[in-house]
Structure 1
């Protein structure tokens, strides 16, 4: 249990740093419910972390019926992630980098946090939790499933906000998905070796 809490703490902190330090200042989005939360912040001014927690409720209900283990991990992961996003808001505007550098660094930090949590079957919540459940049923890599869902959200964001900067969001999604795939795949290889 202590190990699980440490992993959740590390993962949610990394996501909070990546979102607030590198993504939010550029007014671009991530994928999943984080991406939807960021869109709602840009359009209506909603708080990103709190919106993220509330968006997870339907997925929690679905996960509880299909796999209670994922449900409890998802609840803890999503609440901690939402809270860390809110706690780390002071990082917004702290780093002044070229947009491409900020996108790459932010995506790598977020991807590391998401990947480490998914590697231990702990979801940061939202669509990551849904992706874990779909991956379990379909045997498709969780990172591939996440990328497909995230691409749909970003395309929707492009239509709603009509800001060409959102094309950078595709880079974020690609890097986060790639890191999640690598980290979760590495875990499986380790199991086979042992």
Structure 2
């Protein structure tokens, strides 16, 4: 009898782990596709660590994924001190997402859309990917992890926190590059923030059976 319940418990835990890994993989893939197919071709910006990674890529041709991992380090030190479960849950997302972003770089330029459509569709991909992670207390890191920590401790919707910080990053990009087309990045940031807000507002509705 004890062995039976132990097997049932282990099966349940393995199902949770498998579901989490599927969510991380799918979310990282969506974020990587959104950045490489729709954001990079027009040299647009996104918010958070993705936006910082893009800025470093445009300025010095740094690898986006590698920059994201480096920028994430201070936030992860904070997460480790404040919320260990959040830290360990998000660690996989932070490692897998940047790797997928760099692996999918060869896809940049194969989709041709007007700049407004590209900015919006890219935001939809990134927003769904990030929102799915945050919904399950996972994060691709950086601003999203910081938003997750703040939303858990201060009952503020993660989407609003992300939008505020992303707007600051966009303003920095406009000051650095003085390129009017960067204003289209605002559509990306709005789409990302709205989808994150939607996907994290109804956590009682599970996307997968528990």
- TM normalised by structure 1 equals 0.96
Runs of 4+ in 1 over 3 A off after TM superposition: none
1:18 aligns with 2:34: yes
SS in 2 for 1:123: coil
1:121 aligns with 2:137: yes
How much does 1:165 deviate?
Answer: 1.2
CA distance in 2, matches of 1:150, 1:54: 18
1:112 aligns with 2:104: no
1:8-63 Cα deviation digits (max 9, x unpaired): 00100000000000001110110001001100100111000111111101111110
Q: Which residue of 83, 89, 94 maps to 1:67? A: 83
Superposition map of 1:38-49 within 5 A: 38-49=54-65
> Any unmatched runs of 5+ in structure 1?
none
Which is higher, the Rg of structure 1 or of structure 2? 2
CA RMSD of aligned residues (A): 1.0
Superposition map of 1:44-193 within 5 A: 44-188=60-204, 190=205
1:33 aligns with 2:49: yes
The question of whether the paired residues in 1 share the 8 Å contact of 2:116 and 2:187 is answered with: no
How much does 1:68 deviate?
Answer: 0.7
How much does 1:166 deviate?
Answer: 1.1
How much does 1:104 deviate?
Answer: 1.1
Alignment length, in residue pairs?
Answer: 190
> Any unmatched runs of 5+ in structure 2?
1-16
How much does 1:83 deviate?
Answer: 0.3
SS in 2 for 1:81: helix
- TM normalised by structure 2 equals 0.88
CA distance in 2, matches of 1:180, 1:49: 21
CA distance in 2, matches of 1:81, 1:161: 27
How much does 1:74 deviate?
Answer: 2.1
1:106-161 Cα deviation digits (max 9, x unpaired): 11011110111111110111110000001111111000000001000000110011
